[in-house]
Amino acid sequence: MDRLLFGDNQFFGVNHMSEEKARSQQIKFNDSRAMMNVIDDAYDEGVRTFMCTTHERVAEICAIARSDRRRYSELTFMPCMPYAHKYANAVTEHGMMGALKQFTPTGGFIDAAFRGSTAVVRKEVDGLITLLIDSEMKMFAGLPTPVIWLQNVVTDLMLGLGFDDAFSIFAQHVREKYGAEPGFITMNLPQLLDRLERVGVVDPLVCANINKIGFRMSGGIEAYRRYLTQHRVRVVAMSVLASGAIPADEAIAWICEQPGIEAILFGASSRVNITSTRSLVDRYWKQVGV
């Protein structure tokens, strides 16, 4: 895996610290060409992995990459699915249980859960997860997708509901059908690692917020350090700048010193910021001998 992965939050108006900045970015990237120009900048700076949601506009990026494989021969996609906001909106409108029922067949795994039938629960979860994966992978046909990620909205929902079998089902389907490695995005790395170990997902690839001030790190920095030190896990660190609360130089120097960090996920909307981030990562990881 590359050390530096390029994300897509900036393209779709996601900013956890500033709604005004989020709106301005959403306006700036109102068409696929504007998004592709920034991806081109990252690609030309040597950042060749695009870790992206399955937003419908990502399909336009995929189409461009497919149409010019000579130009984008080394561009790799890491899809994150299902698309989080579609399901988050359903939770807002229908509530947690209502949303789950909306996206499952009649008499599905929620009803089975209330009946206490573990076998039926697993069967329904299996069908739902594989259906969602196959549906959302269609836009990446013909493109390299070495890692497929389970979005944190679903990962953490399954954690909260205790449906740990969902993780092994996801991992098995991704490996068998797509020859890809399963990854899990979470806001609670310690709890997720315990659950993955319980269902036999070993040496997992996990993406989580990890930063110097503990921003959006459920359980706190010390718990994360303990798990990174004591567990077999490969981590992609995201939100390392805590949405701009930590200066880039300080944030990247700190994250490069932490154990178990395999890569850093970042977003940027300009060539200057992309170049600066790549230079900082190269410098500080070299200092710690990675």
What the chain holds in terms of domains, given with CATH numbers, is 4-287 (3.20.20.100)
> What six digits make up the tokens of 228?
């990174």
DSSP state letters, 166-215: HHHHHHHHHHHHH--EEEEEES-HHHHHHHHHHTT--S-EEEEE--TT-T
* 61-101 residue pLDDT tens: 999 999 999 999 999 999 999 876 666 666 678 776 666 66
Query: Which phi and psi angles does 162 have, rounded to 5°?
Result: 80, 20
Q: What is the average pLDDT value for the chain, to the nearest integer?
A: 86
Q: What is the pLDDT of residue 25?
A: 64
What 3-state class would DSSP assign to 52?
A: strand
Q: What percent of the chain is modeled with pLDDT above 90?
A: 67
* pLDDT, position 47: 97
In the chain, which ranges are continuous DSSP H helix?
A: 19-28, 32-44, 58-67, 84-102, 109-115, 118-137, 152-161, 165-178, 189-198, 221-230, 248-255, 271-287
Of the candidates 42, 60, 57, which has an alpha carbon nearest to the alpha carbon of residue 269?
42
Residue 269 phi/psi, 5-degree rounding, is: -115, 10
Are 173 and 129 spatial neighbours (Cβ–Cβ below 8 Å)?
yes
Angle of CA points 289, 180, 38, to nearest 5°: 65
Q: Which of 48, 39, 52, 50 is nearest to 271 (CA)?
A: 39
Burial string for 68-85 (b: 16+ CB within 10 Å, else e) reads: eeeebeebbbbbbbbbbe
Q: Residue 36: what pLDDT?
A: 96
User: What is the token pair recorded at 179?
Assistant: 């020859």
- Please report where in the chains the tokens 């399954």 appear, as a residue: 158
Residue of 102 and 183 predicted with greater confidence: 183
- The DSSP code for 138 is G
Residue scoring higher pLDDT (117 or 258): 258
Give the pLDDT band of residue 184 (cuts 50, 70, 90): very high
Predicted confidence band of residue 132 (pLDDT cuts 50, 70, 90)? confident
Query: Element (H or E) spanning 76, and its range?
Result: strand 76-81
Backbone φ and ψ of 62, nearest 5°: -60, -40
Taking only the tens place, the pLDDT of each residue in 253-290 is 999 999 999 999 999 999 999 999 999 999 999 876 65
pTM summary value: 0.84
* pLDDT class of 24 with cuts at 50, 70, 90: low
Q: Residue 114 has what pLDDT?
A: 43
